[in-house]
Structure 1
Amino acid sequence: MIPDGHRLSWVRVLVALGVVGVLVVAVLGADRWRAELTALRGDDVSSTFSGYVDVTATPTYAFESPESDATKDVVLSFVVADPEEPCTPTWGGFHDLDEAAAELDLDRRVALLRERGGDATVSFGGLVNDELATSCKDPAKLLAAYRAVVERYDLDTVDLDVEDDDLADHEASARRSTALAALQAERAKADRPLDVWLTLPAATAGLTEDGLTVVRDTLAAGVDLTGVNAMTMNYGGSRESGETMPEATERTLDAVHDQLGDAFDAAGVKPVGGVWKHVGMTPMAGQNDVRSDVVTLDDARELATLADDLGVGRVSLWSLNRDRACGVNYPDTHVVSDACSGVAQDGETFAEVLAAGAGSGDDRAPATTEPTPEPTATTKAPSDDELVDDPETSPYRIWNEEAAYPEGTKVVWHRQVYEAKWWTSGDLPDDPVATAEQTPWQLLGPVLPGDRPAPKQTLPAGTYPEWSRTGVYRQGARVLVDGVPYRAKWWTEADHPEVSESNPDASPWVPLTAEEIRKVLD
């Protein structure tokens, strides 16, 4: 959060006054904020590779367990407006931020990725659903929504993927730009600069006119624009006869470079490192949405060389979810899948190939398939005190070697959260194993600051009889223990219902589910 002493900064006041007024005055202060951010950021304009991950797609992509250096940095997509509450950020319109933490373990997985040396960016928008600025018409609430996501995931970079109807909404563009400028100003005052990338559709002639409007609005509002990431995919009719996908991409990037250079000049901005460092490219692995557009691994190698030769600032990929061959059981590889590429890969990945183009000269770190190195002697190992599990701050019960855990059960052990992949008892969650198949536990990530045990759901006294040690209960019987409702799985006598918490498989009792409790209350 911004310090109390800065709560009445001129940017926050202007946001409250409305979009138009802020846009006018934001231009007057643009050089000031850009100068502050440039000083904080320094001259770091090195190129990067980060693949997109569709967070809500199934099967789930385990970005928190990068298979190589090429996949350790990710762009998590997409945060969009809630269909019912337009100023509430959600993942894909399905989960708000709290629900994503509970149902997707997203907070924990991001923390685990960072523990393993990676990092995450968040992308707002995308082709489906509404980007926040399109639906949220209240400037203050829009700023709060962006801020909530940045603070929730402790972000240094955000990506605005503006497409389709969002792209043509110029009022939304103005709102978005104003909110981003205000957010950057807040972060600058907290010595936490925020990079902002725009990801926009492009063809061989470059950005569309609507796309250029988004760029110009962003600069006019005073946003320190890190760069424009061109979606180098789905060319269709804009490709010339016989032109390859890499050749079409080169024409596209040349056009975007010139357009962005003109936009910077018009805004009076001198791009650090030159315009190319502020241009990005994102091809789509394998079969594109346009049937005639296919990117093979050989094409990807040419694209990596092109990115290196041009010195672009960012290389990405749509998407890491798709970066694998479809297999013999996929019926038609010309139909785009969100889980495979549709082309032969022979064990190679697009991420590994493209990551080689993310840089120039000595600045580029070669991609490697080596796993994340084990801690060295110079790495401080956690102390015994740091491994002690506290029931008061553990979101799930602490692992017990005497208990049995059915598939899907979550436990805490040594300040980490694990989920049982199958029924298990006595298997140490962090027991060293050579392969993932040798352990019944899946590491989800660390216990997070602010974690607390999930509160037990209760029912009013009298809803069911209180459990009695002398009672005899048949299958289906329901009882209360301190207001917590339980259901008997089979005939039982003298078995305390709370035993189900430590040994759910053997206990004759099971707590009522949230849905069962809701039906009772209804």
Structure 2
Amino acid sequence: MTRSTGRHAGQRLSPWRVSAAVIAVLAVVGAGIAVPMFANGQASAESTVKAAPRWFGGYFDVTAAPVSEMPTSASGAPSNVVLAFIVAEAEDSCVPSWGTYYGLEEAATALDLDRRVARMRQKDAEVAVSFGGALNTELAGACRTVDDLADAYEAVIDRYDIEMIDLDVEGENLADTVAGVRRAEAVAQLQEKRRKKGEDLIVWLTLPVATHGLTDAGLASVDQMLTAGVELGGVNVMTMDYGIDLEGASMADAAISALKATHTQLSALYRRHEISLPRAGAWSVLGATPMIGQNDVAGEVFTLDDAEELNDFAAENSLDRMSMWSVNRDRTCGANYPNTEIVSDSCSGVDQGDRTFAALLSAGFDGRPTSTPAQTQRPAPVVKDDPDTSPYPVWSKNLAYSTAVRVVWHGNVYAAKWWTRGGAEPDDPTLDGTATAWTLVGPVLRDDEPFSLPTAAPGTYPEWSATGIYVAGDRVLYKGTAFVAKWWTQGEDPSLGITDHDRSPWELVEAEAETEVIP
């Protein structure tokens, strides 16, 4: 799963998949599967997959959404969220990043991601992280040793304090069988480390699928995990972008065909690894992720009716997991989006009316992916905000705020949804989500750095004067901070440009060297 410019990078049955099948799994798949049952610590014939609660969790494309958009499902759907995607920051760099755009620290600053994760948990959401996708290098392909890879995974796991990871392996990452072995061994190492501490690490493997089941390379990836001793939470198949003539079948029909075939494949593979399954069999380790609405393949459209039909099938067969790509897209495209056959990462491309794919797909899947109990919401005391310690400016009814500018109010951080000044307080309980100008991002965190303005040495620029006339490009110092004029101005306080990026004639000088400066 990828961004809107070719989210899945082509057809599922492309030539590389065929070649990968021959190279990767000659000894694994076919009429007789020869699987080493106890290699590298593989569990004995007594090993069993634990029954898990059936759950729904949509993928949220972290880098495709503004800070003011919270990654939670609408219309009563469970709020479990799978954040996507962690990848290597470069092809040869064993450093985790969000889509190559943000390191973990950068995401905390630019996207307020740590705070948003805290807010999701306040709303009783279970949060998981997905590694991989189709467009970039999964960490297993960039890290050269198992230990380095395990450390990179663990850095993400520890950063967001998660109990479940999702490994979305496709494209070149799936074809790289050496990286696949490294991935499996690193994950097994992490699970064992957690187990010794009395903790769980649930691992889902997300793979491309054809209408006749997993590709050979995908099945080999499952085999690598089981051979390494990984206890898989399950295998999640991407029921989308088939790239073939469906001969009149609906997208739900295609998904159901793919799931039935994958069920047969997994049943055989688990049996040959002598791993017992729960009463529901391989359905207990199987998940489905459709791409809602318009798929990357022009003729493939997953409709609301398809969602209902797929959910009915999944419920009848006790499928363990339902997901979707993506939460960001679960809405009708606006009137100004002219061609819905071009995939958008912000809307589905179909007329949804007042319905959501999340609500339809999640029906009956009301569990949590881990054993962590839902948090009990308790009334929080009203916090007195301190400008000297707050991570963003404290909200004031006398100031103007541009879209996405963040403020602190009563111990929480809010982001402006549009330009606003005055009006109701950000936490006004009488306003619904469409009426308030503010989105709750999350709580002030214990380790937040206090907000501070950049300073410049006295004499760097002339001191601002209320009577002075300034034109675009003129620079001044105001209370030790440098500002640059955007247009002709006289008598307008430069500090107003800290929060009002639209109408103030002043902006911070450092904004010229930054992609974005948002307090």
Are 2:167 and 2:205, in contact at CA under 8 Å, matched by a contact in 1? yes
Give yes or no for contact 1:473–1:488 (8 Å, CA) kept in 2: no
Match of 1:107?
114
Given that residues 325 and 345 in structure 1 are in contact (C-alpha distance below 8 angstroms), is that contact kept between their aligned partners in structure 2?
yes
What TM-score do you get using the length of structure 2 for normalisation? 0.79
* Structure 1 or 2: more helix by fraction: 1
Distance 1:92 1:516, change over 3 A: closer
Displacement of 1:174 after TM fit? 1.0
Within 2, Cα distance between the matches of 1:502 and 1:422? Answer: 10
Letter in 2 for 1:161: D
Q: Equivalents in 1 of 2:241, 2:98: separation in Å?
A: 25
State the identity as a percent: 44
| Cα shift at 1:279 | 0.6
CA contact (8 A) 1:491 1:508 kept: no
Determine if contact 2:71/2:328 at 8 Å carries over to the other structure.
Answer: no
- Tell me what 2:270 maps to: 264
**Structure 1's 500 and 326: CA in aligned 2 closer, same or farther, altered over 3 A?**
closer
CA contact (8 A) 1:81 1:135 kept: yes
Structure 1 511/312 Cα, relative in aligned 2: closer, same or farther at 3 Å? same
**In structure 1, the residue corresponding to 2:152 is in which secondary structure?**
helix
**1:141-185 alpha-carbon deviations (Å, 9 max, x no partner):** 322221111122221211111111111000110111111112222
**Match for residue 8 of structure 1?**
none
SS for the counterpart of 2:482 is: strand
Is 1:185 paired with 2:192?
yes
Q: Deviations over 1:20-48 (max 9, x none)?
A: xxxx999443439x97x97xxxx551111
Q: Which residue of 2 aligns with 1:381?
A: 379
Query: Match of 1:388, as an amino acid?
Result: K
**Alpha-carbon contact 1:55-1:61 (below 8 Å) kept:** no
Q: Are 2:203 and 1:196 aligned?
A: yes
Matched, 1:344 2:358: no
Please name the residue that 2:225 is paired with.
Answer: 218
Does residue 247 in structure 1 map to residue 250 in structure 2? no
**Unpaired runs of 5+ in structure 2?**
1-35, 369-374
Asked whether the equivalents of residues 402 and 420 of structure 2 are also in contact (C-alpha less than 8 Å), the reply is: yes
Asked whether the equivalents of residues 303 and 357 of structure 1 are also in contact (C-alpha less than 8 Å), the reply is: no
Deviation at 1:302, TM superposition (A): 1.3
Give the Cα separation in 2 of the matches to 1:222 and 1:64. Answer: 33
Q: CA deviation at 1:341?
A: 2.6
1:446 aligned onto 2:443: yes
Letter of the structure 2 residue corresponding to residue 260 of structure 1: L
Q: State the match for 1:6 in structure 2.
A: none
AA in 2 matched with 1:440: A
Aligned Cα root-mean-square deviation (Å): 3.6
Gaps of 5+ in 1: 1-23, 365-374
Q: Distance in 2 between matches of 1:135 and 1:389?
A: 44
Give 1:58 shift: 5.3
Q: Distance in 1 between matches of 2:398 and 2:149?
A: 50
Distance of aligned partners of 1:438 and 1:285 in 2 relative to their CA distance in 1, 3 Å threshold: closer
Q: In the TM superposition, what whole-angstrom CA distance separates every residue of 1:79-125 from its partner, at most 9, and x where no partner exists?
A: 11112762121112211122222222222222112211222221111
1:409 corresponds in structure 2 to 405
Give the counterpart letter for 1:398 in structure 2: V
Contact 2:414-2:441 at 8 Å conserved across structures: yes
1:384-423 superposed Cα distances (whole Å, 9 cap, x missing partner): 5xx2334454211223455554554322111101123323
- d(CA) in 2 for partners of 1:446, 1:328: 35
On the 8 A contact 1:325/1:342 being kept in 2, the answer is yes
1:284 matches 2:291: yes
Q: State how far apart, in whole Å, the 1-side matches of 2:389 and 2:502 are.
A: 25
* One of 13, 31, 55 as aligned partner of 2:43: 31
Which one has more relative contact order, counting CA pairs under 8 Å at least 6 apart? Answer: 2
Change over 3 Å in CA distance of 1:498–1:347 after alignment to 2: closer
The equivalent residue for 2:390 is: 394
Contact 2:387–2:393 under 8 Å retained in 1: yes
Classify the secondary structure of the residue corresponding to 2:378: coil
Q: Classify 1:202/1:499 alpha carbon distance in 2 versus 1 (closer, same or farther; 3 Å).
A: closer
Contact 2:67 2:441 (C-alpha < 8 Å) held by counterparts: no
Bigger CA drift: 454-463 or 173-182? 454-463
Distance in 2, matches of 1:102 and 1:26, equals 45
- Stretch of structure 1 that moved more, 271-280 or 125-134: 271-280
Shift of 1:191: 3.0
Q: Which letter maps to 1:249?
A: A
- 2:484 and 2:332 map into 1 onto residues whose CA distance is 46
| SS of residue matched to 1:325 | coil
Instruction: Identify the match of residue 54 of structure 1 among 31, 48, 61.
Output: 61
Partners in 1 of 2:336 and 2:514 — Cα distance? 42
2: distance between equivalents of 1:244 and 1:506? 51
Please tell me whether the aligned partners of residues 154 and 190 of structure 2 are also in contact (alpha carbons under 8 angstroms).
Answer: yes
Q: Who is 1:513 aligned against?
A: 510
Alignment pair present for 1:423 and 2:423? no
Moved more, 309-318 or 62-71: 62-71
State how many pairs are aligned: 466
Contact kept? 1:59, 1:339, Cα under 8 Å: no
Residue 56 to residue 409, structure 1, CA distance change in 2 (3 Å): closer
Say if 1:499 and 1:214 are closer, same or farther in 2 by CA, change over 3 A.
closer
Distance 1:90 1:468, change over 3 A: closer
